[in-house]
Structure 1
Amino acid sequence: MTNKEIYIKLFVTNFKLKPEELPGLKYRSIKAWDSLGHMTLMEDMEEAFDISIDTPDVLAFSSFEKGMDILRKYGVDI
């Protein structure tokens, strides 16, 4: 499984969405992506990619697309 496939799967699993619903998805745009859902997603990202996301990046992780940019900063090739 590629890193992008893993990334997509984390969103699909955490937020019960279909992959085609992910482009343009923003924090708090759906009920499941609230503060608790966000922290769960961050924990799952850290575990899946064996990284530790700094607090400013957790706060900046505001959309599906922005998340890919942030992960690239940690050396995750997406």
Structure 2
Amino acid sequence: MNNRQKYNKIFTTLFNINDSQLNKDFTFNNVENWDSIAHLSLITELEDTFNVLFEIEDILSFGSYENGMRILEKYKISFNDF
């Protein structure tokens, strides 16, 4: 499984959606069940899966599917592997 597939699986599992819903509009403002608990679960899953430890600023700004990939790229996680 490549990094994009791992990343997508976390979102699809946590939010109980399918891959087709993951796009630029998938943000905490547009997803009803993206609350503080879901946010912390998302961060925890991402940290465990990609073996990173997010800085507080990154946790606070991780508010969308697309922004999350940019943040992970800061930690040397590449999404160009598909």
Query: Which TM class, normalised by the smaller chain length?
Result: over 0.9
* Larger relative contact order (CA 8 Å, sep ≥ 6): 2
Superposition TM-score, scaled by structure 2 size? 0.91
Extract unaligned runs of 5+ from structure 2. none
TM-score by length of 1: 0.95
- Displaced runs of 4 or more, over 4 A: none
Q: What is the total number of aligned residue pairs between the two structures?
A: 78
Distance in 2, Cα, partners of 1:70 & 1:22? 16
Matched residues in 2 for 1:27 and 1:75: separation? Answer: 24
Of stretches 26-35 and 57-66 in structure 1, the one that deviates more from structure 2 is 26-35
- Quote the RMSD (CA, aligned, Å): 0.8
Q: Would you say the 8 A contact 1:51–1:74 is kept in 2?
A: yes
Q: Offset at 1:43? A: 0.1
1:6 corresponds to: 6
- The alignment partner of 2:17 has SS state of coil
